[in-house]
């Protein structure tokens, strides 16, 4: 089996930047791709900033930082990923967009041994694999935010994913990136979000019903249950649009009311109140 030396990352947003950073810190060559070169370069700037912070914390040396940055290139051209050993899709959490992207990747990635992986939070991998001619080489690799800090990766094989691909990706995440891995069945939400998202949505419903304020709900869970972060600040960190999208996918799969995004969450997303990334969600993140 070909060793993984060149990783393509598609999507230069928060998750794509984090995945790029951990791969670069592991000594891999990474090509970061987005729809425009400006967005890809903005992603690289985010990686550089995160590496500098890691150096200041003493987590890496100046030499480590320089080597990691030197290993990252950016592009707006998917064909630049043609020789990648592994391509990780970290695009917007939209099934139609991801499916089209996998169709394109199947055309441009020429190595038959290459693996196509998705960082989707909730979309069944089999649906993405169906857009390709190599479903046995398509798998889910679900990282958690912030990627350089969070130790877990969910490995999600579909019904068509070969055992060799699954084992190769567990070794990649565990041995090369140093992450803990769990294997989840190919069901919307996988392990973590199937448990987490109903909890976040329940907190939103409590705000909507007037049970308590956002601040008191979060304090209740941090001070009363020893959670490191309350559910509403966590939802803001993930992105309320992403939380809503995961809820929609879970509800479509299971038809259980606890998965349905509450009206308040839908209105906030429609109003551009997306959490940290927009500066306002259930809490304000704008500078005073």
**Is 285:240 a contact under the CB 8 Å cutoff?**
no
**Is 115:136 a contact under the CB 8 Å cutoff?**
no
Q: Strands 86-89 and 6-10: what pairing?
A: parallel
Query: Which residues belong to the annotated binding site for NAD(+)?
Result: 11-16, 34, 93, 98, 121, 145, 277
The distance of Cα 4 from the centroid of its chain, to the nearest Å, equals: 20
Which residues are tagged catalytic?
121, 142, 154, 193
Q: Taking phi first (over 0 means left), then psi (-120 to 50 degrees means alpha), and beta for anything else, what does residue 226 get? A: left
137 φ/ψ angles, rounded to the nearest 5 degrees? -105, 15
Nearest to 243 by CA among 288, 277, 218: 277
Q: Give the domains, in start order, of the chain with CATH numbers.
A: 6-183 (3.40.50.720), 193-278 (1.10.1040.10)
pLDDT at 287 > cutoff 90? no
Q: What is the mean pLDDT of the chain?
A: 96
Predicted confidence (pLDDT) per residue in 78-124, tens digit: 999 999 999 999 998 889 999 999 999 999 999 999 999 999 988 89
Query: Which residues belong to the annotated binding site?
Result: 11-16, 34, 93, 98, 121, 145, 277
For the question of whether the overall pTM of this predicted structure is more than 0.85, the answer is yes
Which of the four pLDDT bands, split at 50, 70 and 90, describes residue 288?
low
Give the pLDDT confidence score for residue 121 in this predicted structure. Answer: 86
Give the pLDDT confidence score for residue 229 in this predicted structure. Answer: 96
Nearest to 108 by CA among 135, 83, 140, 133: 83
Predicted confidence (pLDDT) per residue in 123-179, tens digit: 899 999 999 999 999 999 999 989 999 999 999 999 999 999 999 999 999 999 999
79 φ/ψ angles, rounded to the nearest 5 degrees? -65, -20
Which of the four pLDDT bands, split at 50, 70 and 90, describes residue 1?
low
**Is 158:136 a contact under the CB 8 Å cutoff?**
no
Q: Strands 138-143 and 115-118: what pairing?
A: parallel
Rounded-to-integer distance, Cα 12 and Cα 19, Å = 9
Rounded-to-integer distance, Cα 44 and Cα 32, Å = 8
The string of DSSP codes covering 19-38 is: HHHHHHHTT-EEEEE-SSHH
Predicted confidence (pLDDT) per residue in 164-176, tens digit: 999 999 999 999 9
Rounded-to-integer distance, Cα 179 and Cα 133, Å = 29
Predicted confidence (pLDDT) per residue in 187-208, tens digit: 988 999 999 999 999 999 999 9
């Amino acid at each position: 089996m070909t060793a993984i030396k060149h990783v393509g990352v598609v999507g230069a947003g928060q998750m794509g930047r984090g995945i790029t950073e951990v791969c670069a810190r592991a000594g891999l060559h990474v090509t970061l791709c987005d729809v425009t070169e400006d967005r890809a370069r903005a992603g690289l700037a985010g990686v550089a900033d995160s590496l500098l912070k890691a150096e200041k914390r003493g987590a890496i040396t100046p030499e480590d930082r320089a080597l990691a940055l030197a290993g990252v290139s950016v592009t707006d051209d998917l064909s630049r990923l043609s020789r990648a050993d592994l391509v990780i899709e970290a695009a917007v959490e939209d099934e139609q967009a991801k499916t089209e992207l996998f169709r394109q990747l199947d055309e441009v990635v020429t190595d038959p041994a290459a693996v196509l992986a998705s960082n989707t939070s909730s979309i069944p991998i089999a649906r993405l694999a169906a857009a390709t001619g190599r479903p046995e080489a398509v798998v889910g690799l679900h990282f958690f935010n912030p990627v350089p800090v969070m130790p877990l990766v969910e490995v999600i094989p579909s019904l068509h994913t070969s055992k060799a691909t699954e084992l190769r990706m567990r070794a990649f995440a565990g041995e090369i990136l140093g992450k803990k891995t769990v294997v989840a069945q190919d069901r919307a939400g996988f392990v973590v979000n199937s448990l987490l998202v109903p909890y976040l949505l329940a907190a939103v419903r409590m705000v909507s019903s007037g049970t308590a304020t956002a601040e008191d709900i979060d304090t209740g869970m941090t001070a009363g249950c020893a959670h490191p972060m309350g559910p509403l600040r966590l939802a803001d960190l993930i992105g309320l649009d992403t939380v809503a999208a995961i809820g929609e996918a879970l509800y479509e799969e299971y038809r259980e009311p606890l998965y349905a995004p509450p009206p308040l969450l839908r209105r906030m997303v429609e109003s551009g109140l997306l959490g940290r990334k927009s500066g306002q969600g259930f809490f304000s993140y704008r500078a005073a």
